[in-house]
Structure 1
């Protein structure tokens, strides 16, 4: 029963994890330019791009659900719903239009709106799941009794992977470090620690109650993909008012738009930095706009080409977990240079190796689950 219970995290964890590990960009100075770029810039860009593709896929589908909620049949609105590809394009255009903010320092308001909307729809789903009660035919029984020990271990690792993705550090650090002033005399160490602590508390307050109540309310009715939002819409959508369902989808949609901005900003900054370095002059506004349109078009193409990317989220996310669970430990050793084989050195080395081992196990478990359940690889058919 580990997987159905932990699927309750999926609904909002994927939206709350919307920032990346900025301090990894210091790795080029620690391990050499080539190795540093390979270890830091590639995972950051790969994670940013993949997350933006997921935002387009999920945001486009949310737009479709919102439209169908408001216009439940053609006679109401006298218009026909767009195709999935067209909804993806609509979301991408809106996201790129909002993405004209210059840098992370200008995104505090966007992030605040994203956090408020995430908390808002978590609360709505939580309250409505309790008030509307449980379906009659749900079950909490151990339907995995026939599974082998290997399958049960794989389920447990997948469940831990979902928790790890919800609480990984790079969903906090980038924006906190990017928006807090810091210098050698007045560092941002204390406000960053306070921000991280508060952020994790808020995430926990959203995720754990949602998981517990969701499992209580839906049990084995929780779909393998889609999380609580899909479960709620399938079970209670018909007897829920359009206003409430539309409000939930609207909050989710705004959150996806805000998350897209924060995920995409590292890529924008990197592209603009390369232009500035090559041209030896500041990046003009028209170039900045073109770069962002190019990135939006590229992510839109990938979203249309690989619309099943959400099914690979745990596998792909597990590959970048070392940025949270391993890199900081190794970076601390490289920067602080504690006494080799000492207590502090051994603890950091052990935790870093454990983080890599944990990430590898999650990737293996996710790959095994995909091999067991299969994958609907609908290329270019969103």
Structure 2
């Protein structure tokens, strides 16, 4: 213990009281942990193997898994110890303040965690927009080309209403909905507004039977139709990536209003199931393609050489480390109802059972199927020259599951931001759902989502920036600080093995953080020639 240690305040502030409610079980904690760690990044693991090869890839994936499991348990043990002393810490920055001193919490850990989490929100919105774009376009392509249907609409306006009623089976459901949206505007010389089209499309949906292959009542089934409506109502006949990101951001505006971390337990359970589903799709898709390809088409050698190979290795290690990263473990442990001892360990074990099952299976199967041709996301390997190597329904389903799961991950990483806003603007003496607290909550959370969506839309190359943030943020929070916290709190003897294990891990990952930072900056410079705002990538 140091002279800077501060006792936990007797009264909780609004952020801790409203957002970090301590009502959950170890099972709920497992849901939160898993949703925060897993995600579409698992689909990039075959790509890291392409830069590392079989041996180094498996070794890195295993070492980082062991180190993070150890690190998260150390962090949990320190939190449990402080709780037993009557000084329970609910936030990462409070923990740093208590153990290392006020300046560490206020000027280093707090800003670092906020930057990492908010950047993760922007990246998730970017991924959500990309998944939605792929989903809509695949849905449109599965039943015809959008441009051809546009020609039908504008060249045959007089026959359109009858076409929709009599020949709906000849079109995808998305096209039928869009057609009805246009059918009442045959006298116009330009596309009507999206709102008007949407209203008439919704009217058409209500007219359809609520059963059979053309039922229109499912929101999930209607989403591709809404995308097609937008595509058909624009004069350039295509939709930009940032527009999909705005649509996804609108969904996040709603989900961001979920009041507390504990309230996400059911959402995160569903997200866990969705993650298992699209991981299974990637696994079986890779096996299917791998069996159909001859072994002569598979090259498992590392294709790059010299400096490119070296920086590729650093990038791969950074990607793997970031994939296992979380950065908000104290906030997740804060949701557990007291007493907390032993509960977090069970949650971590559940999380790592899922991780071990999915990370290794997707990485191994993807690299086995495609070798060093594995792309930054394995889903890209399933489409060659515009032709799908898998059944289109499988790709559609995988993108849909990814889209929905990313939305849950986004809400998880909004919680530190929400907690700061509640602490700043809410009144802990008023009820959580009083007008005094609801209005600031609605405005602040909406503002947070709008800004994150704007960042994602303006900088669709934000993944390169996130690699830099991961190197300077995720690695310190998850691979260095837990070791420091443990050694400072328990002061193990220098003769104890655990002391030197912690020192070694902290030093090794500090070096990897520096190398990852250099590598990510280099990649940003190399890619800067292709950067422009609101790019459609």
The residue aligned with 1:114 is 271
Q: Secondary structure of the equivalent of 1:326? A: helix
The residue aligned with 1:140 is 299
Picking from 342, 352, 358, the partner of 1:206 is: 358
The residue aligned with 1:301 is 454
In structure 2, what is the Cα distance between the partners aligned to 1:365 and 1:199?
Answer: 30
Report deviation, 1:216: 1.5
The residue aligned with 1:317 is 470
The residue aligned with 2:508 is 354
Closer, same or farther in 2 for the Cα pair 1:371/1:43, shift >3 Å? same
Equivalent runs, 1:327-346 vs 2, <5 Å = 327-339=481-493, 344-346=498-500
In structure 2, what is the Cα distance between the partners aligned to 1:103 and 1:2?
Answer: 36
Report deviation, 1:27: 1.0
Q: Secondary structure of the equivalent of 2:426? A: helix
Q: Deviations over 1:277-302 (max 9, x none)?
A: 7x975661121111111001110111
Picking from 325, 330, 344, the partner of 1:192 is: 344
Picking from 431, 435, 444, the partner of 1:291 is: 444
Q: Deviations over 1:92-150 (max 9, x none)?
A: 010120121111111111111122111110101111221233445734153636x22x4
Verify the 8 A CA contact 1:138 1:221 in the aligned structure 2: no
Verify the 8 A CA contact 2:51 2:313 in the aligned structure 1: no
Report deviation, 1:175: 6.1
Q: Deviations over 1:136-167 (max 9, x none)?
A: 5734153636x22x443322222222221222
What are structure 1's unaligned runs of at least 5 residues? none
In structure 2, what is the Cα distance between the partners aligned to 1:178 and 1:35?
Answer: 20
Report deviation, 1:174: 4.8
TM-score for the superposition, normalised by structure 2: 0.61
Structure number with greater Rg is: 2
Verify the 8 A CA contact 1:6 1:159 in the aligned structure 2: yes
Report deviation, 1:64: 1.1
Closer, same or farther in 2 for the Cα pair 1:112/1:288, shift >3 Å? same
In structure 2, what is the Cα distance between the partners aligned to 1:307 and 1:7?
Answer: 29
The residue aligned with 1:231 is 381
Verify the 8 A CA contact 1:318 1:359 in the aligned structure 2: yes
Q: Secondary structure of the equivalent of 2:327? A: helix
Verify the 8 A CA contact 1:56 1:91 in the aligned structure 2: yes
Q: How many residues align?
A: 364
Q: Secondary structure of the equivalent of 2:530? A: coil
Q: Deviations over 1:13-72 (max 9, x none)?
A: 9xxx9xx99752211223333331222111111011111111111111111111112112
RMSD, matched Cα: 3.1
In structure 2, what is the Cα distance between the partners aligned to 1:50 and 1:219?
Answer: 31
In structure 2, what is the Cα distance between the partners aligned to 1:71 and 1:204?
Answer: 36
Equivalent runs, 1:22-37 vs 2, <5 Å = 23-25=91-93, 26-37=95-106
Closer, same or farther in 2 for the Cα pair 1:274/1:158, shift >3 Å? same
Q: Deviations over 1:254-277 (max 9, x none)?
A: 011101100111101111111137
Verify the 8 A CA contact 1:4 1:220 in the aligned structure 2: yes
Verify the 8 A CA contact 1:27 1:39 in the aligned structure 2: no
Verify the 8 A CA contact 2:275 2:402 in the aligned structure 1: yes
In structure 2, what is the Cα distance between the partners aligned to 1:97 and 1:354?
Answer: 42
In structure 2, what is the Cα distance between the partners aligned to 1:6 and 1:275?
Answer: 48
Closer, same or farther in 2 for the Cα pair 1:48/1:367, shift >3 Å? same
In structure 2, what is the Cα distance between the partners aligned to 1:23 and 1:237?
Answer: 48
Picking from 135, 138, 150, the partner of 1:69 is: 138
